[in-house]
């Protein structure tokens, strides 16, 4: 898969695409400064470097761009719907427990519960949420940031795949 189509986008277009991968404006700015990308591996490495430069406030900005796990919001993107498929298919009891856990998490940590939901069932996400509620704020932020990084990598791969597919048309 080629990253050339991403390099060919103007800055505003690429910024919009990157914001779908990670909602932190500081992360997007770092990614824009690191162009051009030579390969997918180079893009992923530059994303990791951008992650390493983020502050707590930057991470909170990234987290705020996500819908809560298990919510059936009309405004979620195609990627978010795919990522949260396991939660959408859950029974009402599990969704209620996720909603309660989301509220407890947000009250305790000040931001929404972030988990890389791809491939996880609602029960698995609920179990992870319950386990993470036992953390201190200092323990939890790096865990949430690592989950955001996983989500970002998946989305960057999807972005490159979409542009590679479109460039062959």
Known catalytic residues?
66
The CA–CA distances, whole Å, from 68 to 21, 51, 95, 102 equal: 16, 22, 11, 7
Reduced to 3 states (helix: H, G, I; strand: E, B; else coil), residue 93 is helix
CA–CA distance, 169 with 144 (Å, rounded to integer): 38
Spatial distance between the Cα atoms of 58 and 51, rounded to a whole number of angstroms = 9
CA-wise closest residue to 115 among 68, 58, 47, 51: 68
The DSSP output letter for 67 is P
Q: Is residue 77 within 8 Å of residue 106, measured between CB atoms?
A: no
DSSP 8-state class, residue 71: -
Q: How is residue 15 written in tokens?
A: 């910024």
């Amino acid at each position: 898969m080629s990253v050339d189509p991403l390099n060919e986008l103007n800055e505003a277009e690429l910024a919009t695409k990157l914001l779908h991968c990670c909602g932190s404006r500081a992360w997007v700015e770092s990614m824009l400064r690191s162009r051009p990308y030579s390969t997918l591996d180079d893009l992923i490495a530059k994303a990791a470097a951008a992650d390493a430069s983020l502050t707590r406030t930057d991470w909170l900005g990234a987290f705020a761009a996500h819908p809560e796990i298990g919510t059936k919001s009309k405004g979620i993107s195609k990627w978010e719907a795919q990522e949260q498929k396991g939660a959408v298919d859950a029974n009402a009891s599990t969704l209620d427990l996720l909603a309660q856990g989301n509220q407890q998490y947000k009250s305790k940590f000040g931001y929404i519960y972030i988990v890389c939901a791809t491939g996880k069932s609602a029960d698995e996400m609920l179990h992870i949420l319950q386990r993470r509620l036992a953390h201190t704020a200092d323990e939890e932020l790096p865990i949430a940031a690592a989950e955001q990084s996983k989500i970002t990598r998946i989305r960057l791969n999807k972005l490159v795949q979409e542009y590679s597919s479109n460039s062959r048309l």
